[in-house]
Homo-oligomer: A and B are copies of this chain.
Amino acid sequence: MGARTTSIQVARLAGVSQSAVSRVFSGASASPETAKKVRKAAKQLGYRPNVLARAMITGKSRIIGLIVAYLDNQFYPEALERLSNALQAQGYHILIFTVPNTADRIAGVVEDLLDYQVDGIIAASVSLSSGLTDLCVKAGIPVVLFNRGQPGSGLSSVTSANIKGATMATQALIEAGHSRIAHIAGWEGSLTGRDRQQGFEDAMARAGLTPFAIIDGMFKRDTAASIARQLMTGDTRPDAIFVGNDHMAFAVMDEIRQMGFSIPADVSVIGYDDVPLASWPAYDLTTVRQPVNRMVEATLETLLSSINGQEVYPQTIEIEGPLIQRSSSKPIKGS
């Protein structure tokens, strides 16, 4: 038990040197006969190379560290699944860390990751301090931020085109005839949140409209719900709300309906992300799609080319997604 077969035992059985065994399994040159003998012996003994030992020598662990917060937001399980599948297909493996989005916890996580000699790090929706960024750079470990930009950090990032997406959403609201439009923003500590707010403000300004309100929802259900209640209480109410992401938008819709209002008759709601739940009839949420698959592809391409030594300049990749018009918001007039 626990006594794994080693390359020496295989060598002994196959009647070759240990180096020969290693060569066969590491894909180096070996004669067909040697290879055959080795493979036969290996199969007989159930031999498989110790990846850790290999990693120590090659300096490549083939492990990618993934840091993720907000797992209760449906967007991330989906992203995780796609990242995981794509990485597995390339022979990489994911060491996963779930973290609350606080700087101190993240520091510990990054150090753990470096201790494991990961080949690269994907940080989903978390920011790295400049100290941590330095650590990774010094260790030669590439980092890609997923769904969260961090200007001036020198880190690559992959996001959707948040400003543009938010502009589209807001414009759709305006073109549907709304004028008292509120925005429940994502967390202002995140560029993603700020960009979406920016897009909202741009579109409003361009239309000559004043935002009914802009309030930070912190990307949290509870916060968003209570903001919605507050907005819908009182004499003048918004006739439309653009919410910083779907996760909050569901809470907003729940709250508004519980207050007895009807969506979109009394108020239109638009979200951002297009998570699976958005298309379920219970919500049928109009939203801006973040193309998860393309974001994942871009992330891996960026990360893997850095790993493979191509000097990659920090890239800021933004991927556009369409507005998905559903029944939570009034359609554009005349359409």
Q: Does A254 contact B (CB under 8 A)?
A: yes
Per a CB cutoff under 8 Å, which of B46, B109, B250, B277 touches A138? B46
Interface size (A, Cβ < 8 Å)?
Answer: 58
Per a CB cutoff under 8 Å, which of B4, B55, B135, B257 touches A139? B4
Contacts of A48 in B (CB 8 A): 111, 114-115
Known A78-B71, A250-B282; judge A52-B116 contact (CB<8 A).
Answer: yes
Q: Most chain-B Cβ atoms within 10 A of its Cβ — which of A48, A56, A135, A282?
A: A282
Name A53-81 residues within 8 Å CB distance of B.
53, 55-56, 59, 61, 63, 66, 71-72, 74, 76-78, 80-81
Per a CB cutoff under 8 Å, which of B51, B80, B95 touches A93? B95
Per a CB cutoff under 8 Å, which of B93, B138, B253 touches A1? B138
Flag if A52 contacts B56 (CB, 8 Å).
yes
Q: Most chain-B Cβ atoms within 10 A of its Cβ — which of A48, A95, A98, A258?
A: A98
Contacts of A281 in B (CB 8 A): 254, 257-258
Taken together, the copies of this chain in the complex come to 2
Within the complex, the shortest CB–CB distance from A289 to chain B, in Å, comes to 17
A257 to B117, CA, bound (A): 52
A69's nearest neighbour on chain B, judged by CB, is: B81
A94's nearest neighbour on chain B, judged by CB, is: B96
Within the complex, the shortest CB–CB distance from A115 to chain B, in Å, comes to 4
A280 to B94, CA, bound (A): 32
Flag if A117 contacts B56 (CB, 8 Å).
no
A53 to B277, CA, bound (A): 45
Contacts of A325 in B (CB 8 A): none
Flag if B2 contacts A139 (CB, 8 Å).
yes
A3's nearest neighbour on chain B, judged by CB, is: B140
A residues whose Cβ falls under 8 Å from a Cβ of B = 1-4, 46, 48-53, 55-56, 59, 61, 63, 66, 71-72, 74, 76-78, 80-81, 84-85, 88, 93-98, 109, 111-112, 114-117, 135, 137-140, 250-251, 253-254, 257-258, 276-277, 280-283
The 6 A-B residue pairs with the shortest CB-CB distance in the complex, in nearest-first order? A2-B140, A1-B140, A282-B282, A84-B98, A254-B281, A77-B77
